[in-house]
Amino acid sequence: MKTGEKGEYVEVDEREKQPNSEQKKWEAEQLQSALFKFGSRDVKPDEYDLLLEDEIEFVQVLRMDGSKDIDRKPEVTESEKKKMNIEETKKSLPVYPFRDDLIAAIREHQVLIIEGETGSGKTTQIPQYLYEAGFTKDGKKIGCTQPRRVAAMSVSARVAEEMGVKLGNEVGYSIRFEDCTSERTVLKYMTDGTLHREFLSEPDLGSYSVMIIDEAHERTLHTDILFGLVKDIARFRSDLKLLISSATLDAEKFSEFFDDAPIFRIPGRRYPVDIYYTKAPEADYIDACVVSILQIHATQPLGDILVFLTGQEEIETCHEILQDRVKRLGSKLRELIILPIYANLPSDMQAKIFDPTPPNARKVVLATNIAETSLTIDNIIYVIDPGFAKQNNFNSRTGMETLMVVPISKASANQRAGRAGRVAPGKCFRLYTAWAYKHELEDNTVPEIQRINLGNAVLMLKALGINDLLHFDFLDPPPHETLVLALEQLYALGALNHHGELTKMGRRMAEFPVDPMMAKMLLASEKYKCSEEIVTIAAMLSVNSAVFYRPKDKIIHADTARKNFNHIHGDHLSLLQVYNQWCESDYSTQWCYENFIQYRSMKRARDVREQLVNLMQRVEIDMVSGVTESINIRKAVTAGYFYHIAKLSKGGNYKTVKHNQTVMIHPNSALFEELPRWVLYHELVFTTREFMRQVIEIESKWLLEVAPHYYKPKELEDSTNKKMPKTVGRAGPSDAH
Ligand code: CDP
Ligand code: MG
């Protein structure tokens, strides 16, 4: 199979274009010979690199051993499983034999650490055991936190099904901007962030009899803070049971933190996994993924494939390329069912990854990190791991937060590989070299609390009345300077006074489940009389990356459609126009289709908007609109995001005002060709360079108006706000002007 030119981006309508006939022939030949050589029989590892000579060359370096205590009894195969009813499936999970011991241990101890291999049934089964054992009899609930939204939704759906109830009744979930629970709910799955917020209204978690902090090993910021909060509560609520559940080896550390709480180990069942590395580094890992998937599909025995990518865009790209290749190969291959899974995917599509694979077909799941430990997809035999993940990183020296793709840790790589050995011996293909694994990957992922902006967390803790943050009981304390910076930022936003106490503004800000800058923007809309518009902008920003639809085969049309929404003052206003026009179309699907807008994202924006409007009412801000000029809107945005300001410098680059970092306007921005002197950005993303995404033009004097304690007039000199004359040497479309 030919991999295609590296780094080549096809801008024409690929589906209308016939594949190059030479390439087609070559691909068919390669495939034929591969099939001829190996047919569908199992390939022994040592034969493997022979087979792959013409393709990506992998070398097998080690075999990750299965568990010693593996249950070698006849395996439950996928087809047998299909015949099993729910009861039998539940009994087949590794946690099942320990049900009674586990319940006994929970009765005996207030805090219990539970450790067990991913997929052993911790998340779906333990809450049910507790329910059956009567832990909800006194009218109290069992709570279970998940670091990821998708997991909370999908796991609760599964549990509702197992219990034969409607989701939202006895079993429900609650995530940011979406509450699917009712009076009847006794098993409540929620994101860790949601529980964090619940402390505000119920500081003793009085309505819960058991709280499970699940996927503790993920060490998200919220989970880390929850550790401190629940530990504190457990001291005065002796009736509350606390379970900390983790997939990996951190159990000892958790136990120590929770005053030597006992550890309950669920013996794992893991089959050996052969690990393959590429012989040479791969320049384009999406392409390498596609090639590897086809290699596996053409040469390896049936069994599903799990591919780890970093985000929605990458998954969509990979999906399209793969689909296209498969189509061209036609009936030479068995059926390959391609299924994506990422946070923004609508839940009905998410559920598809759990559908059993039809006989004689193969499923390939293109997933984000979510499939690393939070979700277990049965029947995965092959894992493809490019070795990257998207990570939020905060530089406490510059105060800048950037979303970037970074290499994963060895611990993550091994978790990923382990996903291949759950139902049978598996294979993991790492798209990097053995050398890179050994020398370039860190041992463990740094916990979020030590690498992201703490503004949000600090505001929440302050709102809970926890003032002395330096002495908060952290499992791993955040760096001192990050804490200080968060305090400074909240002070500049007006959320804290100079004693570090929460102000009235801060209290109102804490009502919103959004980061402090966005909360401030929402509140500032009161002063600038544009709450309707700002609420829409906030809702759209929260789904922004998924608003515009850009199918590979219609890129030109899609980009033209997108440009029609461009607002001269920038992207926030473009998003506002999209939303308003959609409202005018009476929330039409057809309108979305015609304008290359993702209907589902719009629907979500509408839901988020509704929630925000409710919260605005709670803080007593009237919904008003009517500004015809965009100045007020932009001022309100600036009142929240005055940290994110950059000024035009040489060569079409920008420099951030406070830290003089070089950044650029993202090519998708309405202002990409405009180059205003002063801009405000919503976020920074690092791809090939540091890009500002979602940008508006501002006037520097507004900064003195909205953040007088943060900006000095001197920093904002040269604020004529005239556009700079076009500079020489900047490549790109702007030169055409
Ligand atoms: O939490 P842990 O990793 O220990 O396991 P789990 O998430 O409770 O998964 C137990 C079983 O439930 C696995 O076989 C999953 O495939 C299955 N499951 C499912 O079928 N559908 C879901 N939405 C979630 C889990
Ligand atoms: Mg789990």
Indicate whether 733 pLDDT > 50: no
- Work out which ligand 1 atom sits closest to the CA atom of 94: 4
pLDDT in the model for residue 273: 92
Contacts of 699 (CB under 8 A, 6+ apart): 678, 719, 721
pLDDT in the model for residue 81: 55
pLDDT digits (tens, 9 = 90+) for 628-653: 779 999 999 999 999 999 999 988 89
Read off the pLDDT of each residue in 318-326 and give the average, rounded to a whole number.
91
Pick from 129, 158, 345, 378 the residue to mutate for probing ligand 1's pocket: most ligand atoms within 8 Å of its CB: 158
Residue nearest (by alpha carbon) to ligand 1 atom 15: 376
Indicate whether 375 pLDDT > 90: no
Nearest ligand for residue 419 CA: 1
| CA angle (288 as vertex; 282, 289 as ends), nearest 5 | 135
ipTM, two decimals:
0.98
Does the C-beta of 118 come closer than 6 Å to ligand 1? yes
Indicate whether 720 pLDDT > 60: no
Indicate whether 12 pLDDT > 80: no
Residue nearest (by alpha carbon) to ligand 1 atom 10: 121
pLDDT digits (tens, 9 = 90+) for 551-599: 778 889 999 999 999 999 999 999 999 999 999 999 999 999 999 999 9
Pick from 148, 376, 378, 380 the residue to mutate for probing ligand 1's pocket: most ligand atoms within 8 Å of its CB: 376
**Comparison of pLDDT for 702 and 10, the residue scoring more:** 702
Burial of 613 (0-12, 13-18, 19+ CB in 10 A): middle
Contacts of 6 (CB under 8 A, 6+ apart): 283, 284, 287
Indicate whether 51 pLDDT > 50: no
pLDDT in the model for residue 55: 66
Read off the pLDDT of each residue in 593-621 and give the average, rounded to a whole number.
93
Pick from 78, 124, 128 the residue to mutate for probing ligand 1's pocket: most ligand atoms within 8 Å of its CB: 124
Does the C-beta of 319 come closer than 6 Å to ligand 1? no
pLDDT in the model for residue 626: 72
Nearest ligand for residue 116 CA: 1
Does the C-beta of 154 come closer than 6 Å to ligand 1? yes
pLDDT in the model for residue 151: 92
Nearest ligand for residue 84 CA: 1
**Where does the pLDDT of residue 459 fall: very low under 50, low under 70, confident under 90, or very high at 90 and above?**
very high
Nearest ligand for residue 154 CA: 1
- Work out which ligand 1 atom sits closest to the CA atom of 154: 23
State in Å: Cα 719 to ligand 2 middle: 54
Indicate whether 23 pLDDT > 70: no
Does the C-beta of 121 come closer than 6 Å to ligand 1? yes
State in Å: Cα 331 to ligand 1 middle: 34
pLDDT in the model for residue 718: 63
SS3 state of residue 533: helix
Indicate whether 502 pLDDT > 90: yes
Read off the pLDDT of each residue in 379-387 and give the average, rounded to a whole number.
95
pLDDT in the model for residue 728: 38
- Work out which ligand 1 atom sits closest to the CA atom of 157: 23
SS3 state of residue 205: coil
pLDDT digits (tens, 9 = 90+) for 219-277: 999 999 999 999 999 999 999 999 999 987 678 999 999 999 999 999 877 889 999 99
| CA angle (451 as vertex; 245, 201 as ends), nearest 5 | 55
Does the C-beta of 374 come closer than 6 Å to ligand 1? no
State in Å: Cα 374 to ligand 1 middle: 9
**Where does the pLDDT of residue 401 fall: very low under 50, low under 70, confident under 90, or very high at 90 and above?**
confident
Nearest ligand for residue 117 CA: 1
Read off the pLDDT of each residue in 357-375 and give the average, rounded to a whole number.
91
Read off the pLDDT of each residue in 488-496 and give the average, rounded to a whole number.
93
Does the C-beta of 354 come closer than 6 Å to ligand 1? yes
Nearest ligand for residue 90 CA: 1
State in Å: Cα 349 to ligand 2 middle: 20
State in Å: Cα 134 to ligand 1 middle: 23
State in Å: Cα 304 to ligand 1 middle: 16
Does the C-beta of 378 come closer than 6 Å to ligand 1? yes
Residue nearest (by alpha carbon) to ligand 1 atom 17: 376
Does the C-beta of 120 come closer than 6 Å to ligand 1? yes
State in Å: Cα 375 to ligand 1 middle: 6
State in Å: Cα 124 to ligand 1 middle: 6
Read off the pLDDT of each residue in 686-702 and give the average, rounded to a whole number.
91
State in Å: Cα 122 to ligand 1 middle: 8
Indicate whether 14 pLDDT > 50: no
State in Å: Cα 119 to ligand 2 middle: 7
| DSSP 8-state code for residue 570 | B
Q: Which of 706, 703, 712 is nearest to 528 (CA)?
A: 706
**Where does the pLDDT of residue 397 fall: very low under 50, low under 70, confident under 90, or very high at 90 and above?**
low
pLDDT in the model for residue 237: 95
State in Å: Cα 548 to ligand 2 middle: 33
Does the C-beta of 148 come closer than 6 Å to ligand 1? no
CA distance 516 to 509: 7
Q: Given strand 426-430, what is the order of strands in its sheet? A: 58-64, 273-278, 426-430, 380-385, 304-308, 362-367, 336-341
Residue nearest (by alpha carbon) to ligand 1 atom 8: 121
State in Å: Cα 246 to ligand 2 middle: 8
pLDDT in the model for residue 470: 85
Percent of the chain with pLDDT strictly greater than 70: 85
pLDDT in the model for residue 118: 87
**Where does the pLDDT of residue 44 fall: very low under 50, low under 70, confident under 90, or very high at 90 and above?**
very low
Read off the pLDDT of each residue in 430-438 and give the average, rounded to a whole number.
92
Burial of 508 (0-12, 13-18, 19+ CB in 10 A): buried
- Work out which ligand 1 atom sits closest to the CA atom of 117: 4
Indicate whether 437 pLDDT > 70: yes
Does the C-beta of 123 come closer than 6 Å to ligand 1? yes
**Where does the pLDDT of residue 217 fall: very low under 50, low under 70, confident under 90, or very high at 90 and above?**
very high
SS3 state of residue 189: strand
Read off the pLDDT of each residue in 28-37 and give the average, rounded to a whole number.
41
- Work out which ligand 1 atom sits closest to the CA atom of 266: 4
**Comparison of pLDDT for 728 and 735, the residue scoring more:** 728
Mean pLDDT of the chain: 85
CA distance 334 to 35: 12
State in Å: Cα 206 to ligand 1 middle: 29
State in Å: Cα 118 to ligand 2 middle: 6
Does the C-beta of 128 come closer than 6 Å to ligand 1? no
pLDDT in the model for residue 26: 46
**Where does the pLDDT of residue 61 fall: very low under 50, low under 70, confident under 90, or very high at 90 and above?**
low
State in Å: Cα 261 to ligand 2 middle: 20
Does the C-beta of 143 come closer than 6 Å to ligand 1? no
Strands (E), 195-313: 208-213, 241-246, 263-266, 273-278, 304-308
**Where does the pLDDT of residue 38 fall: very low under 50, low under 70, confident under 90, or very high at 90 and above?**
very low
Read off the pLDDT of each residue in 602-613 and give the average, rounded to a whole number.
93
Does the C-beta of 119 come closer than 6 Å to ligand 1? yes
Q: Which of 361, 370, 366 is nearest to 286 (CA)?
A: 366
pLDDT digits (tens, 9 = 90+) for 73-128: 444 555 555 556 888 889 989 999 999 999 999 999 999 999 998 889 999 999 99
**Comparison of pLDDT for 16 and 293, the residue scoring more:** 293
State in Å: Cα 97 to ligand 1 middle: 16
Tokens of 294: 């086809």
Cβ(463)–Cβ(510) under 8 Å?
yes
- Work out which ligand 1 atom sits closest to the CA atom of 351: 23
Does the C-beta of 126 come closer than 6 Å to ligand 1? no
**Where does the pLDDT of residue 179 fall: very low under 50, low under 70, confident under 90, or very high at 90 and above?**
very high
pLDDT in the model for residue 609: 95
